[in-house]
Structure 1
Amino acid sequence: MPKFTPRFILLAALLAFAQNALAIDQQKVLSALQTVVMVRGYNDTGGLSYGSGVVVGENKVMTNCHIFRSTKQPWVARGEDSYDIVSVQADRWHDLCLVSTINLPFKPATIIKNHDLKRGQEIISIGHSNGAPSPLTSAGIINSSYTFEGGRVIRSSAAFRMGASGSGIFDTEGNLLGINTFKTPGRHAYFYSLPIEWLADLEKLPVETTFPIKGKAFWEEDDDKKPFFMQIALPEINQDWPKLAKIAQSWIDIDPKNSDAWYELGNAQENMQKIDEAKIAYKKSVALDASNTDSLFRLGAIAQSAGDKVVVHDINVAIANINKDLAQEYSHMLGCETEC
């Protein structure tokens, strides 16, 4: 149909861009693209509120609750077609809403339970950034994922903008991993997606038929009440190392077996030139999670500065066993001609 042409053009552009970087299944990613819809509604001033959503079942669309705060009659849209929203199941704290429509003709996204998220894993964000009528795509990798209240919140490098709230983050085979929800401010933003595992609890909530949907989400808390994986973001971006060290230590005091907390402490200490302390923190991080390539990278860099070629090589082997592409990045970072 002619009105679907732009989506195919956008996907073709993505595939051309990502051909050398991503090992994608083109047909499955195309199917994923067709599960993403717009969510719209008029606010009290007559303006149009908009976001994105992902079809996750028959007549069911998963999106963010915060896009319903100023509209009484929202609907789902694709192109010139619209579908009334008749009810919603709302988890306000986790900022996830499951809306029900009538006669929605789109197939749901593919969801794999207990998906094994890996650092450096290639992903694709698909949503209506800036209210674009056709979904836009953004390729990236998983920077990290954080255990939080029964799921793993994903931080990735796949950028999304206003209008993409409620959109999907997919792996390169088109499987839905999470719902794009919030980001840090500024040019060097961190992008966060909520875990698809929360859908199971969302489906058990009471059905509501009244909009708007009000209520604060966890990521909107005051800074000192946010989860630690959010508290560390701005100090890290702003290179405020003493503050990062303080937050990381508080994180460790509460959760001493958290590999990410130890990495963040090492990161702060290394940048404050406390190299010995940083090595201890990074090693603790790796001991808790052998796949923490962030800590492995930094241990390799410290070893190279000390002239310890054996450790540099051993770390290269360890990273290669996790992800060969990351091992190449590690070698490139350290200036090795082929591999360290």
Structure 2
Amino acid sequence: MKYLLLAYLLISSAVANAYNQQALVEAYFSVVMIRGYNLDGGMAYGSGVVVGDNTVVTNCHVLRATKQPWVSRGEDSYPITEVRADAWHDLCMVTTHNMPFKPVLRGHSGDLARGQEITAIGHSNGVPAPITSVGEIQGLYPTPGGNMIRSSAKFLMGASGSGLFDMEGRLVGINTFKTAGSGGSVHFALPVEWLDTLEKMPASTEFPVRGKALWEEDEDKKPFYMRAAVPESRQDWPALQKVSQLWTVQDPNSADAWFSLGLALLSLKQLEPAASAFDKAVNLDKQFIEAWFRRGDVAQQQGDQKMVQQIETQLQQIDPTLVPIYQAYLGCDQHCQK
């Protein structure tokens, strides 16, 4: 199976200058660590983002194991005095004092688009300096108040509660949960708009913070985009096919649902139904680049060079820089003619 990751990295490098360097530097310095001792004496840690004077947002699951958490930056620490907690949405806003860090600018998850370049900034693996990871928006899933975000910007343990930023340095999401498997991790961020409600919640001084998060719900009660992520990351194609078929029945107007089904069918070498699924995906979202690439893969395997070239023409209209990447992805010569 050929993967689009390398192609997407090429796309990212081509647009590497399309960012606000100063704003991203300021965003970098607004990401902090959240630390505290576990009940057994070990260290619990996560990440947070400064969103107001002496105010940091993080994931509530970061605060489950410690009674006395604090904010840290290098050797400096700032005791947390209170918390506003929304355990179900896994967002906690903590308050400290005498913290000199500047709040981030906020964007809107509703302004994002599939394929848009973004960056995750957090303390992956508990390292003292934040780590940045550039990626693209892979999916946007409407929820009350904003869009849940799936991105290819990686984050590791310790980066829960870190920031997902657009290339203008605006906070658009809070990196929260991911799946893992041989096919690679799938990363999700909560919409920044949820902070508006969180700021209005009553404050508490009780730690640890308790409560189940939405991503910890029973599997059959989760939204389909979460249910599909697990078998996709594990490359369990029969399971992904089953979930995706249910998804397309429940939401036949979801391009993501049809793409997910197409991915499963393509991986199972069921080329005709895979082609149909990808066709539905691109008909619903003409800018769905990965769906176009996958559809081209199906066409090439079927020996349908006319369709391969039609897709190349479509990509030329979307963005001419995609054409050589598409050709390289299919492993063919100019105009994908063998």
Instruction: Please tell me the residue identity of whatever aligns with 1:170.
Output: F
1:296 and 2:289 correspond: no
Give the C-alpha shift of residue 114 in structure 1. 4.9
Alignment of 1:13-24 (within 5 A): 22-23=16-17, 24=19
Give the C-alpha shift of residue 74 in structure 1. 1.3
Give the direction of change, closer, same or farther, for the CA distance of 1:31–1:303 in structure 2 (3 Å limit).
Answer: same
Give the C-alpha shift of residue 129 in structure 1. 1.2
Alignment of 1:191-270 (within 5 A): 191-270=187-266
Post-superposition CA distance 1:27-59 (Å, at most 9, x none): 222111011011112222222211110111222
RMSD: 2.3
2:36–2:70 CA contact under 8 A, matched in 1: yes
Residue among 25, 32, 40 paired with 2:20: 25
Mapped to 2, the partners of 1:143 and 1:324 lie a distance apart of: 20
Post-superposition CA distance 1:299-323 (Å, at most 9, x none): 2222334444443333234334545
Partner of 1:74: 69
Structure 2 unmatched runs, 5+: 1-11
Mapped to 1, the partners of 2:265 and 2:35 lie a distance apart of: 46
Partner of 1:135: 130
Give the C-alpha shift of residue 127 in structure 1. 0.9
Aligned length: 323
SS of 2:193 mapped into structure 1:
helix
SS of 1:301 mapped into structure 2:
helix
Give the direction of change, closer, same or farther, for the CA distance of 1:20–1:297 in structure 2 (3 Å limit).
Answer: closer
Alignment of 1:95-106 (within 5 A): 95-106=90-101
Mapped to 2, the partners of 1:92 and 1:325 lie a distance apart of: 44
Mapped to 1, the partners of 2:77 and 2:58 lie a distance apart of: 16
1:182–1:191 CA contact under 8 A, matched in 2: yes
Mapped to 2, the partners of 1:37 and 1:119 lie a distance apart of: 28
- The range that moved more, 22-31 or 33-42, is 22-31
Post-superposition CA distance 1:126-170 (Å, at most 9, x none): 111111111122222233232234322222222222111111122
Give the C-alpha shift of residue 222 in structure 1. 2.5
Mapped to 2, the partners of 1:319 and 1:195 lie a distance apart of: 30
Partner of 2:7: none
Give the direction of change, closer, same or farther, for the CA distance of 1:128–1:323 in structure 2 (3 Å limit).
Answer: farther
Partner of 1:53: 48
1:279 and 2:270 correspond: no
Percent identical: 52
- The range that moved more, 309-318 or 205-214, is 309-318
Post-superposition CA distance 1:101-139 (Å, at most 9, x none): 223211111212355323333222211111111112222
Give the direction of change, closer, same or farther, for the CA distance of 1:56–1:339 in structure 2 (3 Å limit).
Answer: farther
1:165 and 2:143 correspond: no
Instruction: Please tell me the residue identity of whatever aligns with 1:169.
Output: L
TM-score scaled by length of structure 1: 0.86
Partner of 1:34: 29
Structure 1 unmatched runs, 5+: 1-17
2:51–2:57 CA contact under 8 A, matched in 1: yes
